[in-house]
Amino acid sequence: MHILEIPSFFPPYGGLFCLDQAKALQALGHEVRILSNVQLGITIGWKDYLRLPFGRYEHQLDGVTVFQSFQRGVPRSIRFNVKRWVSVVRSMFRDYVEKYGKPDILHAHCAKWAGYAAMKIGEEYQIPFVVTEHLPLMLLEGEFGKGPHYGWQVPMLKEVYEHAAMVFPVSEELVDDIARFYGKSYKWQFLSNTIDTDFFHYQEREPLAGRSFRFCCLADYYFRKGYDILFDACKKLQESGCRIELHIAGLLTDGRKCHADLQEIGLKDVTTYGRIGKDAIRDLLYRCDVLVLASRSEVQPLVLLEAMSTGIPVVSTECVPRNQRIDGGCFIVPIEDAEALAVQMKSVMDMDGFDGKAVSEQIRRMASPDVVGKKLEEVFLQIIHP
């Protein structure tokens, strides 16, 4: 099959789940490329906004060809930026077809807005399209509103769902969560995201004797990620006499607001890394004992799978979907409850008999590239050859 992946967002703003699935399908012998138009925001990262290339070009990312463009967003102009983004993607697709021919299927990541672009391209070229949906309810509510009246985007995106050959929510709970926006009149099938289980392989941790217990959090410094709750929980542990360190990485974790928040709460022994690459993420996981994510809203946070794949337990909140609650590896607390989080973190610190190797193997059976790639392959073939 000739498969074209179209992500709604891509580096430097995340989105590597698209690359992971492209690699999984490529490993099965399919012709797979990525068409990526990334809208840059000057308020998010002015260096990227000014320095990343202008114009369209191709490059290789982990062995996958990426047809790339960076679009400079206009501040406070959402409709204009969306219209322009979709127009650029459609124009890039015309160039793509001239060079590589028409793909058999389009695989969009998130209806907003790759799915919408894929729908328009599919209508024009008579190509089926599917959508993998990653976006959580809190993020959608922030843009569309909580009802009863919703934003102008909703009818457009509801049409995407209804016209898609298949929608792959990365958690079953997501279907009910977003039904207020998109209804349920569409075909869907749950499918986990994939992670590189060979890269994030199991590894024994350094013995605890003579050192602090190391927690880490790998998430961008946004309200949705619950860093304020995490900081409060860590402060409680330190005040109770626990010898702990906190290591945090992600966009803006090395920024002024994060440092100001840490100083205000008086949390000690915290190391901030900012945005780091895949190798550094793995190295950090191998140096830490537990990953903690205090999120207020998630769909399927891949970092939990990556952490468990390396052989450490994770502590997170009730927003984590059922498919990630690996028995013996994932420990759940209520959202917005620093006290409960601190208690659970202490419980994991004192836990005996944790079998990291067994937890790592469970992740491989659920989210390895081979497992996810074969499921996608099966559905794609059914769509192309009904």
* Contact call for residues 110 and 118 (beta carbons, < 8 A): no
Q: Tell me the pLDDT tens digit for each residue of 31-46.
A: 999 999 998 888 777 8
Rounded CA separation 332/318 (Å): 6
* DSSP secondary structure letter of residue 362: H
Is residue 60 predicted with pLDDT exceeding 90? yes
Is residue 321 predicted with pLDDT exceeding 90? no
Q: Which two tokens stand for residue 156?
A: 């457009």
Q: How many CA atoms lie within 13 A of 326 on its CB side?
A: 29
Q: Tell me the pLDDT tens digit for each residue of 168-208.
A: 998 888 999 899 999 999 999 999 888 899 999 999 999 98
What pLDDT does 289 receive?
97
Rounded CA separation 277/280 (Å): 5
Rounded CA separation 145/140 (Å): 8
* Contact call for residues 361 and 305 (beta carbons, < 8 A): no
What pLDDT does 114 receive?
97
What is the per-residue DSSP string for 29-84?
Answer: T-EEEEEEEEEE-TTT-HHHHHHSPPS-EEEEETTEEEEEEEEEPPTT-HHHHHHH
Segment 71-93 shows an average pLDDT of 93
**pLDDT confidence bin for 49, thresholds 50/70/90:** confident
Rounded CA separation 181/285 (Å): 37
Q: Higher pLDDT residue, 40 or 60?
A: 60
Instruction: List C-alpha distances in Å: 369 to 114, 142, 361, 363.
Output: 22, 32, 13, 11
Q: Tell me the pLDDT tens digit for each residue of 333-367.
A: 999 999 999 999 999 999 988 999 999 999 999 99
Taking the CB of residue 29, how many other CB atoms lie within 10 A of it? 9
Q: Tell me the pLDDT tens digit for each residue of 239-294.
A: 999 999 999 999 999 999 999 999 999 999 999 999 999 999 999 999 999 999 99
Is residue 147 predicted with pLDDT exceeding 90? no
SS3 (DSSP) at 133: strand
What pLDDT does 368 receive?
93
